Amino acid sequence: MFDLKSSYSPAGDQPKAIKEIKAAFEKWKDKLTLLWATWTGKTFTIANIIQHIQKPTLVISHNKTLAAQLATEFKYFFPNNAVHYFVSYFDYYQPESYLPAQWLYIEKEATINQEIEMYRLATMASLLSRKDVIVVASVSALYGLWQKRFFEENCLQLKINTEYKFKDLKKQLLHMQYKPVHGKIEHGMFDVKWEMIDIFSSTEKFLYRLYFNEEELELIELRDSLTYEFKWKVDKIVVRPATQFLQDVSDLEKIFGQMDKEKEARVKEFKKKWMLVEAERIKKRVEYDIRMMRETWFVNGIENYSLYFDARTPGQPTNTLFDYFPDDFLVVVDESHMTIPQLQAMPSGDRARKVNLIKHGFRLPSAIDHRPINFSELENKLNWKRSGVKTKKQLDVINDRLELKNDALGKTYEELKKDLWYEENCDLFKKHLDAKTIFLSATPAEYELKVSDKVIEQLIRPTGLLDPITYVYPKSWNYKLLVDSLDKLLKKKPHLDEFMEKYRLKDGIEEVFAGE
């Protein structure tokens, strides 16, 4: 599992903070705030906590640049473990929207960063295949991903000395949204050359070169995807899907029927209100999308029909990165006084844009359910609030039962369903009941302080250096006090004298304040 590598040991306030966090977690205090000062080494403290609890970890940052910095630091501390960077993969993004005042429809336009998309897919793959995973994410973690079950089912496993039909192999790669190479070569493409197939991995900077003897796979080589330099041979590989928006098409006609039924109801509703333009608009849009999906299994804006593809009920939240983690993972909210407001505000903006599109016939009402999870759902999912639990005793019963082995969980849920209070508290079972959260902030806001079971301080730096003593005087317009303070400072530190030259007038520094 996690193996922390470092040339130095905790110092300053770090040992005390690490000890207190460990003790709090052992006493079932699962929401903590770490109040830290600049340069006190909060990242190293969190690395030691990860090393201690040995659980998959999600670090949420409000800024892409800070997220990249954190990912780099964690890769240094855990070189033998999987550290991933999960942020929005758009270099440019113009969301689909409609401005009623200008009668202006703006089509979705985006430029995808292929490398960041590779990082995202690699994150999903690692979370499904190993436990020693640290993910540093931005607030894009709120947005929907496809179901992890479907991600696993659509992986292609290839093994040497096994027969594969070329036609079926190419069909499967196309279904996984791999594209044939035409000119520019990117991740998520494949190229067939007689009895050799090159597959450019969507999750790693590798090229899988497959050699066939007729239909038998004889050899698999891993090569650099840019230079084609040979790396090594392998006996088997797992090819991951090329996109995170691959949809379940096993029951496509049923999905089309549901979409068509909603379309007819919406057209009827528009006509009843004499909104004939909107009725014709939504009719043509849905019919075109159905034709495209029937022919190619894909259409721009397919995510707006995710309610049907995911078999969700209206209002049910989408699958997100949080669902790829086990129940007992660690959540670290970096700069929580900045990150929490972002998590709260982001879903509202998305909803306002969707409402306009639905109101004017550009999208079906079900499109509103393709959305980031809202903050109350996030609170419920991460157990930041225990809504619906009547007593602490009931929560303890659930925690005790969920500690059973995985093979007994099904029976445990059935037992709990028999309890009288199950139905009104059924959302409780969607929670990560054993998730632990650490809010990191130098200036924690009211929310973190209210939610946390304990606030732990880390103020003394490993170097032992302290902040200089600062005196704050009341605003009294007594500039003589300021001038006297400057004279004392210059006597104590004469090397600062050159910085005061521009303030000096012929009659002395007091002249600066003469006009005030």
Most confident of 74-78, 300-304, 430-434: 74-78
Whether residues 366 and 490 share a domain: the answer is no
Q: How far apart are CA 28 and CA 383, in angstroms?
A: 13
Q: How far apart are CA 317 and CA 307, in angstroms?
A: 9
Q: 192 is in which domain, residue-wise?
A: 156-239
Question: Residues 429-443: what's their mean pLDDT?
Answer: 84
Question: Residues 465-484: what's their mean pLDDT?
Answer: 76
Query: Comparing 266-270, 357-361, 385-389, which segment has the lowest mean pLDDT?
Result: 385-389
Read off the pLDDT band of 401 (50, 70, 90).
very low
Whether residues 333 and 290 share a domain: the answer is no
Whether residues 235 and 257 share a domain: the answer is no
Most confident of 62-76, 240-254, 337-351: 62-76
pLDDT above 60 for 380:
yes
Query: Comparing 45-59, 313-327, 380-394, 439-453, which segment has the lowest mean pLDDT?
Result: 380-394
Number of structural domains, the chain? 4
Whole-number pLDDT of residue 417: 39
User: Residue 209 domain-assigned?
Assistant: yes
pLDDT above 60 for 10:
yes
Read off the pLDDT band of 248 (50, 70, 90).
low
Question: Residues 88-93: what's their mean pLDDT?
Answer: 85
Whether residues 257 and 341 share a domain: the answer is no
Whole-number pLDDT of residue 363: 94
Whether residues 184 and 235 share a domain: the answer is yes
User: Residue 231 domain-assigned?
Assistant: yes
Whether residues 162 and 226 share a domain: the answer is yes
Q: Which residues contact 274 (CB under 8 A, 6 or more apart)?
A: none
* Summary mean pLDDT of the chain: 83
Read off the pLDDT band of 381 (50, 70, 90).
confident
Q: Which residues contact 292 (CB under 8 A, 6 or more apart)?
A: 298, 299
Q: Which residues contact 351 (CB under 8 A, 6 or more apart)?
A: 368, 371
User: Residue 40 domain-assigned?
Assistant: yes
Whole-number pLDDT of residue 421: 37
Question: Residues 10-32: what's their mean pLDDT?
Answer: 93
Whether residues 288 and 376 share a domain: the answer is no
User: Residue 100 domain-assigned?
Assistant: no
Whole-number pLDDT of residue 247: 63
pLDDT above 50 for 415:
no
User: Residue 221 domain-assigned?
Assistant: yes
Whole-number pLDDT of residue 325: 93
Whether residues 326 and 452 share a domain: the answer is yes
Query: Comparing 16-25, 140-149, 251-260, which segment has the lowest mean pLDDT?
Result: 140-149
Read off the pLDDT band of 302 (50, 70, 90).
confident
- For residue 186, give the nearest of 236, 111, 125, 135 by alpha carbon: 111
User: Residue 60 domain-assigned?
Assistant: yes
Whole-number pLDDT of residue 506: 46
Whether residues 378 and 451 share a domain: the answer is yes
Read off the pLDDT band of 246 (50, 70, 90).
low
User: Residue 1 domain-assigned?
Assistant: no
CATH number for the domain spanning 18: value is 3.40.50.300
Q: What is the DSSP string of 443-472?
A: S--HHHHHH-SEEEEE-S-TT---PPP---
Boundary-marking domain end, from 261, 296, 331: 296
Read off the pLDDT band of 412 (50, 70, 90).
very low
Question: Residues 263-273: what's their mean pLDDT?
Answer: 94
Whole-number pLDDT of residue 257: 92
Whole-number pLDDT of residue 17: 95
Q: How far apart are CA 448 and CA 455, in angstroms?
A: 9
Whether residues 207 and 234 share a domain: the answer is yes
Does residue 42 sit in helix, strand or coil? Answer: helix
Whole-number pLDDT of residue 502: 63
What is the share, in percent, of the chain residues with pLDDT greater than 70? Answer: 87
- Tens of pLDDT along 312-363? 888 888 889 999 999 889 999 999 999 999 999 888 878 888 999 999 999 9
Whether residues 79 and 209 share a domain: the answer is no
